[in-house]
């Protein structure tokens, strides 16, 4: 269902955003690229001061590449929901007006994104126009009744990644990019430094964002590669050419 949201959601006029929390990022040296001469490896200070840790709240729009972030030192439900709600409302205000539909059509538009799910929240009897699909991790703070009802009231349908399926959340990818650009090779000494670097990196990304496509060309290359390979039974081995089968002679019966 989440893969269908990535590939079809925007085509159907429904905004698809992803949300995640990255961290904790501690005040320790972060390894990065280096240019040391041969035989002289890079050295990092061994001191570690417990100066706190920071986290990064993230909203990501794969179709445009735009990312909204907020650095925090605590990630309770009050902090997370207090940031998410205004950000989601600002996104909804910028979206085009929804196409008018009958109550039955609106109910069907919501229900189609829950088809086949084993666990899903109960939809309201008279839902508002569906305007956004929000991909979230399956955490307790994301499934509180008050928060889910608030999402429904705004026309937002949450899609939760299954246990062990965080790779379905594209926010993980943008967080990895932001973290690497902001912290690799750095030695922050305070959480304010970490938050400032992460948020500045996100602003730089938004100046020239890159859209994300689910699967994309890499998936197509892998698919073509699999089609060119020929599996060998009994293991994960494969060959470039099909293995010719040696015909087994059938023994002939001797006349009695």
Domain CATH for 89? 3.30.420.10
Domain with 55, as residue range(s), is 2-30+48-207
Whether 112 maps to a domain, the answer reads yes
Place of tokens 């690229």: 33
b/e 158-194 (16+ beta carbons within 10 angstroms → b): bbbbeeeeeebbbbbebbeebbeebbeeeebeebebb
Whether 149 maps to a domain, the answer reads yes
pLDDT along the chain (256 residues), means of 10: 72 76 75 67 64 88 92 90 94 88 83 75 82 88 89 90 82 90 85 92 92 77 74 69 67 61
Cβ contacts of residue 152 below 8 Å, gap of 6+? 121, 123, 124, 127, 128
Whether 164 maps to a domain, the answer reads yes
Whether 35 maps to a domain, the answer reads no
Whether 253 maps to a domain, the answer reads no
Helices (H), 70-211: 77-94, 103-111, 145-153, 171-183, 191-207
Whether 213 maps to a domain, the answer reads no
Whether 198 maps to a domain, the answer reads yes
Domains in the chain: how many in total?
1
Whether 234 maps to a domain, the answer reads no
Check residue 71 and give its pLDDT. Answer: 92
C-alpha closest to that of 74 among 135, 141, 17 = 141
């Amino acid at each position: 269902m989440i893969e269908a949201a990535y590939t079809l959601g925007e085509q159907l006029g429904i905004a698809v955003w992803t949300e995640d929390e990255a961290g904790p990022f501690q005040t320790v040296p972060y390894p990065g690229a280096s240019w040391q001469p041969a035989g002289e490896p890079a050295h990092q200070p061994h001191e570690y001061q417990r100066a706190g840790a920071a986290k990064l709240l993230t909203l990501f729009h794969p179709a445009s590449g735009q990312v909204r972030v907020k650095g925090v030192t605590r990630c309770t439900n009050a902090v997370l929901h207090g940031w998410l709600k205004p950000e989601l409302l600002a996104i909804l205000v910028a979206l085009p007006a929804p196409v008018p539909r009958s109550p039955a059509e609106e109910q069907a538009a919501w229900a189609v994104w829950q088809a086949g799910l084993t666990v899903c929240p109960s939809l309201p009897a008279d839902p508002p126009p569906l305007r956004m699909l929000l991909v979230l991790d399956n955490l307790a703070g994301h499934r509180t009744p008050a928060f889910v009802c608030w999402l429904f009231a705004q026309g937002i349908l949450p899609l939760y990644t299954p246990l062990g399926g965080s790779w379905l959340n594209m926010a993980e990818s943008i967080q990895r990019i932001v973290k690497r650009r902001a912290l690799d090779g750095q030695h922050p000494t305070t959480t304010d430094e970490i938050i400032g670097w992460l948020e500045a990196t996100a602003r730089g990304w938004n100046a020239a964002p890159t859209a994300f496509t689910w699967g994309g060309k890499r998936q197509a290359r892998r698919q073509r590669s699999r089609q060119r390979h020929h599996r060998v039974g009994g293991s994960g081995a494969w060959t470039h050419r099909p293995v010719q089968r040696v015909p087994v002679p059938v023994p002939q019966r001797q006349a009695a």
